[in-house]
Amino acid sequence: MPDGLIALIKNAARLSVMGCSAPGSTGPQRVEELTGYSPGAISRWGGDAHRELMPLEVVFLVEFISQKPVFAGALASLTGHRLVPVAASEASDAPGMADVFAMAGASLRFQIEFAEALEDGRLTRAERRRLNKAKAELLDIMASIGRKIDGVREG
C-alpha cells in the first residue's frame, strides 16, 4: 500500500466519526449507537497506533447518516476528482472540507510520485517532470486555500 494511504484512511475515519455528532451526543457516541461497535473499536479506527480500519458497512452508514461524504471525497481527491453537491453551481469562496480532501489527495499523489522516483536512487527526466506536475498541483491547491482563508472574516 502506498505510503500515506493508511494515514489518509485513518484521518477520514476520524473526520467521519466527528461528523456524526448531533445535539446531545458526540460523534463517537452516535456511531456507537448506530453501529453497536464499542468506543474502543471506534477509537482504533482513527488511531494511528492501530492497524484496524473502519469497516466498509460503517463507512457507508456514517456517510449516509451524516450526509458528509468524507471517505468519498478522499477517494475522489486521490484520483484528481472532486465531489460537489448535485445542486451546487459555483465553487464556494469559503474554505471547507473539500479543500482538506483536495490538499490531502494532491499531497498523497506527490508523496507517491516522490517515493517511486527515489526507489532506485536516481531521478530521471521523466520522473522530474511527473514530480514537478504533482508539486504544481499541490501548490495550486494550497494557494487556493490560502486565498480562501485570507477572505474569511473574523467572527
3-state secondary structure 122-144: CCCHHHHHHHHHHHHHHHHHHHH
List, for residues 50-106, the tens digit of each pLDDT value. 889 999 999 999 998 888 889 998 888 888 887 877 655 445 677 887 788 888 888
Residue 31 has pLDDT above 90, yes or no: yes
- Which domain does 122 fall in, by range? 69-155
**Cell representation of residue 59:** 463507512
Position 42, amino acid: I
The residue from 16, 45, 67 where one domain ends is: 67
DSSP string, 48-104: TT------HHHHHHHHHHHT--HHHHHHHHHTT-----TT--S--SS--HHHHHHHH
Do 94 and 146 lie in one domain? The reply is: yes
Q: Is residue 127 predicted with pLDDT exceeding 50?
A: yes
Same domain, 62 and 76: no
Residue range 5-23, pLDDT digits in tens: 888 889 999 999 998 888 8
Q: How far is CA 10 from the centre of its chain?
A: 9
Same domain membership, residue 73 and residue 142: yes
Domain boundary among 67, 94, 115: 67
Q: What is the mean pLDDT of the chain?
A: 86
Query: What number of CA atoms fall less than 13 Å from residue 79's CA on the CB side?
Result: 7
Q: Among 57-61, 113-117, 138-142, which stretch is predicted with the lowest mean pLDDT?
A: 113-117
Residues 83 and 27 in one domain: no
How many domains does the chain divide into?
A: 2
